[in-house]
A and B are shown apart, each in its own frame.
Chain A
Amino acid sequence: MSKGMRKYFKKKIFWFVITFIAAVILNFILPRLMPGDPVNAIVGKSVSPGASQEQIQEQIAFYKQQFGLDKSIFGQFFDFVKNAVNGTFGVSYSQYPRTVSDIIGSGIWWTIALQLPAILVGWILGNVLGALAAYLRKAFDKVLMPVSLFFSAIPAFGMAVILLVIFAVNLKVAPVNGAYDAGLIPKFTPSFIANVIWHYQLPFWSIVLISIGGQAVGMRSMSIYELNADYVKYARFLGIKDRRIVRYVFRNAMLPQVTGLAMSIGSMVGGALVAETIFSYPGLGMAMYNAIVSSDYPVISATTLIITIMVLLASFTLDIIYAFIDPRVKAAQFD
Chain B
Amino acid sequence: MKSTLRNIFHSPRFVVGFVIFMAMVLTVLIYPYFVPRDPLVSIGKGFLAPGTYLSVYDANNTSTYRIDLPEAAANRMGSLLTAEDRKTMLDFLTVMGADTEGLDLSDDSVNDLIALWKSSYDEENVRTSKYEGFSTKAQRNKLKRLDTKLSGSDSAGAMTVVSGEGDAAESRAVADTDYVKVNEVANALNLPLGTDNFGRDMLTELVSATGTSLIIGLIAGTIATLLGLLVGLLAGYVGGLLDDILMFIANIFTVIPGFVLLILIYYSVGQEARGVTTCAIVIGLTSWVWTARSVRSQVISLRNRDHVNLSKLSGHSLFRIIITDILPYIASYVVMAFILQVSSGILAEAQLSLLGLGPKTTVVPTLGLMMNWAKLFGAYTSSNAWWAYFPVILVIALTSFSLNLMNTGLDQVFNPTLRD
Interface residues of A (CB under 8 A from B): 15, 18-20, 22-23, 26-27, 30-31, 33-35, 137, 149-150, 152-158, 161-162, 164-165, 169-170, 176, 217, 221, 224-225, 228-229, 267, 270-271, 273-274, 277-278, 288-289, 292-293, 300, 304, 307-308, 311-312, 315
Contacts and interface: CB of A to CB of B under 8 A. Distances in A.
Interface in B331-364: 347, 350-351, 354-357
A35 B384 contact: no
Interface residues on B, range: 35 or more
Contacts of A157: 350-351, 354, 371
Given A149-B401, A155-B400, 20 more contacts: A15-B248, A23-B255, A23-B256, A35-B268, A137-B420, A149-B405, A150-B397, A153-B400, A155-B350, A158-B393, A161-B375, A169-B381, A225-B417, A228-B418, A229-B417, A289-B355, A292-B264, A304-B260, A315-B254, A315-B255
Q: What are the 7 tightest A-B residue pairs by CB atom distance, in nearest-first order?
A: A33-B268, A158-B393, A153-B401, A153-B400, A30-B264, A270-B257, A154-B397
Contacts of B400: 153, 155
Interface in B243-262: 244, 247-248, 251-252, 254-257, 259-261
Contacts of A270: 257, 259-260
Nearest to A305: B256
21 contacts: A15-B244, A15-B247, A19-B251, A35-B267, A35-B270, A153-B399, A153-B400, A154-B396, A154-B397, A155-B397, A157-B350, A158-B393, A165-B380, A217-B408, A225-B415, A273-B259, A277-B355, A304-B256, A307-B257, A307-B260, A315-B254
B413 to A, nearest CB: 14
B265 interface: yes
Interface of B: 244, 247-248, 251-252, 254-257, 259-261, 263-265, 267-268, 270-271, 347, 350-351, 354-357, 371, 375, 380-381, 384, 386, 389-390, 393, 396-401, 404-405, 408, 411, 415, 417-418, 420
Contacts of A277: 354-355
A169 to B, nearest CB: 6
Given A23-B255, A35-B271, A221 B411 contact: yes
Contact of A161 (B356, B393, B418): B393
A152 B347 CA distance: 12
A261 to B, nearest CB: 16
